[in-house]
Structure 1
Amino acid sequence: MNFHPRMQSEVDGVTVVGDVRLRFFEGAVADLWDVECEASARGEYVSHAPRLVTVLSRTGPGGMDVCASPGRGFERERASNPLIYVPAGLRVWSRIEDISALRHLDLHFDVGILARRLADDLEPGAIDEPRLMFSDDRVMALAQLIAAECETPTGLHDLYGDSIVCALFVALMRVDRKFSRTRGQLAPHQLRKAVEFIEDNAARNIPLDELAALTGLSAAYFCHAFKQTTGMPPHRWQMRARVNRAKHMLEASDLSLSAVAVGSGFADQAHMTRVFRQFVGTTPHVWRKSRKG
């Protein structure tokens, strides 16, 4: 795993008890902490990755506060399980009063991986919105499952933890379903990548494997999904792109039909004429004549 979160911190009155339990998941790094706190403990933190801090349990009658302004007065949070979401680069200050012990789970998110999994469903700017000292039963329940995985030396299959991390991120970012996609279709971002690539490279032969690699799918599955989404296979979409390019050249220039054929990616004039007629219903010569009056 290439994702290794870096965080700068200064703490006063907090002592780590035992070892920090660390787990790597697809899309996040989780670390589970047990700490002892003096009567008045403080901390200052900043990280290059967004993170969620979940207070799982605490001992003592007091409270705690986390804020993005060191000069703000102490606002004691009495909720039993506060959650703190801190965007990347945001410096925060914590204060703990009359709590002798804390157990908390920190989740550091690899936004690149999680955003790709959510495709176009993640709202722009959502990851940059701080949510300090809030409650959410669903996020808390998922965090507790992740903490249990951190405590288990071996844990269950990677898919289990990875799925919980993704579910927690969806709940945390409040990602709603944006569209209903028929099973077997391409996601919008996959279709956009493939179509733009075909349009830009229509004049050359594009191997199916090259297109499939853009979407992270096998060639066979990509071909099926592309047809399910657009109503035509990738090769026919490319032929249509060549016809559109030929139309532009026929209308905007006085090039010969053979030159237009080569310039738009067809093998020769006869090939262009055959494909052009399939899509347009007439020959390039007749179409050009009608367009130019």
Structure 2
Amino acid sequence: MLTRVDPLLPLPENVLSLSTARREWNGVRVDVSEFHCAGRVSHQLRHQSETRLNVLLEEIGSPCEPRLREDQPCPIGYMPRHMHFAPAGMEIWGFSADTRFARDATLIFDLAVLSERLATGFNADAITKPRLRFADDRIWTLVRLLSDTMNDPDPSTQLYGDGLTAAIAARLFAEPPEPATDGKGLAPWQLRRIVEYLDARLPERVELAHLAAQVGLSQAHFSRAFKASTGMAPYRWQLDARIRRAQALLIDSHASLNEVAEATGFADAVHFGRTFRKLTGATPAAWRRDRKN
């Protein structure tokens, strides 16, 4: 569930406004913040008592940099799409000589919950060793995709976000992922159980950890095996199933588009129509009309 976080009060000098949106997946709390600024900005970053990854998504003006001390420049040179990782208890400062806008994402890890849900251990060095400024295109892309879902109320974003956070954690500090045992996907009984579980809960939110637990697999192994069996990621399968249910309602009932949207877990008819057209190539009204004539 999306929440809005009260800004730092008072705002740091030259920060005109600050807004933060927050969601949580898989024991990973995600804060996406937007800073509108006018000049030099220097402030202590939040969450120093927690293990966190900060990813710079966008900046306008002088480059932003992480610092160990407010008055000590970052010893690592600028690089695009940079990020930093800090273990719990480490103080980090953010600095820019002259910035206008910055957007970043901070992922705060509950390592105990995350380890349990991913059914894996973490590399001890990776979770305790700070990385002040580094670039990883894969992590950056995954975090950007995660940030883009912050305001999406669609139930399928639960599985989507679970999958993204699992992939980020595996890339950042998990032990090497377990190999698939047979490379052929889920066993027939496993796939049947998962499909029945998803069908019974349409169109509700479903967590990836719960799906993996149904068949005794880690999230990473489950995601690979499910896609091998169905050709789809779990979130995409759930979304397709909701669209199939919507198609049945469009043909078999006189329900309005708003009623169909509500019954299949979409925020409103506009969101439903946009998703329906993306997956089928036609608007719900046109699709219904063509099949009822």
2:234 counterpart residue number? none
1:56 counterpart residue number? 57
Q: Distance in 2 between matches of 1:81 and 1:169?
A: 18
1:108 counterpart residue number? 108
Offset at residue 88 of structure 1 (A): 1.0
1:20 counterpart residue number? 20
Normalising by structure 1, we get a TM-score of 0.53
Does residue 146 (structure 1) correspond to residue 146 (structure 2)? The answer is yes
Does the 8 A contact of 1:53 with 1:105 survive in 2?
Answer: yes
2:124 counterpart residue number? 124
Does the 8 A contact of 2:51 with 2:108 survive in 1?
Answer: yes
Offset at residue 28 of structure 1 (A): 0.9
Q: Secondary structure at the match of 2:99?
A: coil
Deviations 1:187-229 (A, max 9, x none): xxxxxxxxxxxxxxxxxxxxxxxxxxxxx968xx78xxxxxxx
Q: Distance in 1 between matches of 2:42 and 2:86?
A: 17
Offset at residue 21 of structure 1 (A): 1.7
- Please tell me the root mean square deviation across aligned C-alpha atoms, in Å: 3.5
Q: Secondary structure at the match of 1:175?
A: coil
Normalising by structure 2, we get a TM-score of 0.53
Which of structures 1 and 2 has the bigger CA Rg?
Answer: 1
Q: 1:135 to 1:59 in 2, by over 3 A?
A: same
Q: 1:131 to 1:10 in 2, by over 3 A?
A: farther
Q: Distance in 2 between matches of 1:98 and 1:75?
A: 19
Does the 8 A contact of 1:13 with 1:38 survive in 2?
Answer: no
2:158 counterpart residue number? 158
Q: Distance in 1 between matches of 2:133 and 2:175?
A: 20
Does the 8 A contact of 1:16 with 1:34 survive in 2?
Answer: no
Letter in 2 for 1:148: D
1:44 counterpart residue number? 44
Does the 8 A contact of 2:80 with 2:135 survive in 1?
Answer: no
Offset at residue 167 of structure 1 (A): 0.7
Offset at residue 43 of structure 1 (A): 1.1
Deviations 1:213-267 (A, max 9, x none): xxx968xx78xxxxxxxxxxxxxxxxxxxxxxxxxxxxxxxxxxxxxxxxxxxxx
Offset at residue 12 of structure 1 (A): 2.6
Q: 1:29 to 1:170 in 2, by over 3 A?
A: same
Q: 1:40 to 1:74 in 2, by over 3 A?
A: farther
Offset at residue 75 of structure 1 (A): 5.0
Q: Distance in 1 between matches of 2:145 and 2:129?
A: 25
- Segments of structure 1 that go 5 or more residues without pairing to the other structure are 185-215, 223-293
Does the 8 A contact of 2:126 with 2:172 survive in 1?
Answer: no
Q: Distance in 1 between matches of 2:111 and 2:174?
A: 15
Percent sequence identity is 22
Offset at residue 116 of structure 1 (A): 1.9
